[in-house]
Amino acid sequence: MHKKIIVANWKMNLELQDAKKLIANILKKLKKQNPHTTKIILCVPYVYINVVRQMISGIRNVFVGAQNCNEYNTGAFTGEISCSMLKSCGVDYLIVGHSERRTLYNESNKLAEKKILQSITNNILPIFCCGETLEARKNKTYFNAVNTQINESLFNLDKDQFSKIVIAYEPVWSIGTGMTAELKDIEEMHKFIRNKIRNKYGKLVSETTPILYGGSVSSLNASNIFGLLNVNGSLVGGASLNADHFMNIVKVLK
């Protein structure tokens, strides 16, 4: 069975000294908690990858991740970062398809698919984000929205490729807003996603694919969310920038 997973997404936050202080505080609290059953993935800005990797070296179940990549491995793409570059810096995980990339930079499902293939080719494990807008939720087309994202970005993968995927369900309307989906809605969507995987790749792949929930997760609501049958952890945004808040979420999952 898969490990429980907590992913920190720092987004475009923190200067270098603050980043070092945050990691030091997380590691200090981690030593006391010793949550060996929980995998912690720190998805940090590109410029901090090496610093974070060095600071977490030798720490059990703590990994460094990136927040984005280019869909090509090399080329004349000024300012872009490839998966081979990320791997050479020790990156283990990669966020793909986050709603902020979709909304702010017009990234499509097919572009996400290309990035996922680059990630897998370079032995980086993709964390694929999916989720509906508020409009889709109100119009009751949220299953269709997530269904399309998964079909177009993931379901051309073969079984071996898909087995490397982590899925993060994040309702777009709940990210950074303080609004969290109802527990029944979270479980309903996670079950829907798991059943889709089962129908496509079989029972074993379905049962072992981690499906995380993201969207204003805090230590106050984490216990109820993590108690849901098909939730295997969380993708944490704002709360991951505070060591106390983040490690309280980790503690709840443990």
Mean pLDDT (10-residue bins), the chain, 254 residues: 86 98 96 79 98 96 97 97 98 97 97 98 98 93 97 98 97 80 95 98 97 91 95 96 96 87
Q: Where are the domains of the chain?
A: 4-253
Contact 101, 67 (CB under 8 A): no
Give yes or no for a contact between 103 and 138, defined as CB atoms under 8 angstroms apart: no
The amino acid present at 62, given as its one-letter code, is V
**Displacement of CA 212 from its chain's centroid (Å):** 7
DSSP state of 24: H
Please state, in angstroms and rounded to a whole number, the distance separating the CA atoms of residues 241 and 204.
35
Report pTM.
Answer: 0.95
Residues whose CB falls within 8 Å of the CB of residue 100, separated by 6 or more in sequence, listed in order: 11, 175
Residue 182, pLDDT score:
92
Residue with tokens 């907590």: 6
Rounded distance, CA 30 to CA 25, Å? Answer: 8
Question: Are 150 and 196 spatial neighbours (Cβ–Cβ below 8 Å)?
Answer: yes
Q: Tokens for 134? A: 């508020």
Which entry of 98, 100, 107, 113 is annotated as an active-site residue?
98
C-alpha closest to that of 64 among 100, 10, 101? 10
pLDDT at 54: 98
Report angle CA 112, 213, 17 to the nearest 5 degrees.
80
- The neighbour count for residue 90, using CB atoms within 10 Å, is 15
Looking at the domain that runs over 4-253, which CATH code has it been given? 3.20.20.70
Report the distance separating Cα 26 and Cα 44, nearest Å.
14
Confirm whether 107 is a catalytic residue.
Answer: no
Instruction: Decide if 224 contacts 17 (C-beta within 8 A).
Output: no
Confidence (pLDDT) at 2: 62
CA 235, 241, 242, 243 torsion: positive or negative?
Answer: positive
Of 42, 37, 31, 54, the C-alpha closest to 7 is 42
Cα angle 228-234-236, degrees, rounded to a multiple of 5: 140
From 113, 132, 170, 187, the catalytic residue = 170
